[in-house]
């Protein structure tokens, strides 16, 4: 079930090619579901809520924030 603020299948097809590789260069565990993580980041961005108020169905807020920060370091948000 798609929730408010979440990507449609078509939007996901377009966006996923801009995400960095699944494996991190420093190692560590890759996110279980990158689409869900991106939807969580978009939820925070669109609602303006603090990271700690992220709904439980998106997973731990700290994991989502780490995913967001990884995208920031990769320059994803700077692309146009």
Q: DSSP letter at 75? A: T
Residue 79 confidence (pLDDT) above 70: no
pTM of the entire structure?
A: 0.81
Q: What is the pLDDT of residues 37-67, one digit of tens each?
A: 999 999 999 999 999 999 999 999 999 999 8
Question: What does the pLDDT read at residue 30?
Answer: 67
> Domain residues of the chain, as ranges?
32-80
Contact between 38 and 68 (Cβ < 8 Å): no
* CA quadruple 22, 17, 73, 2: dihedral sign: negative
């Amino acid at each position: 079930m798609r929730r408010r603020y979440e990507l449609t299948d078509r939007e996901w097809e377009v966006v996923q090619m801009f995400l960095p590789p699944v494996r991190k260069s420093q190692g560590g565990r890759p996110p279980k579901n990158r689409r869900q993580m991106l939807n969580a980041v978009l939820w925070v961005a669109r609602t303006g809520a603090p990271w700690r108020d992220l709904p439980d169905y998106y997973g731990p807020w700290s994991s989502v924030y780490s995913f967001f920060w990884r995208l920031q370091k990769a320059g994803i948000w700077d692309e146009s």
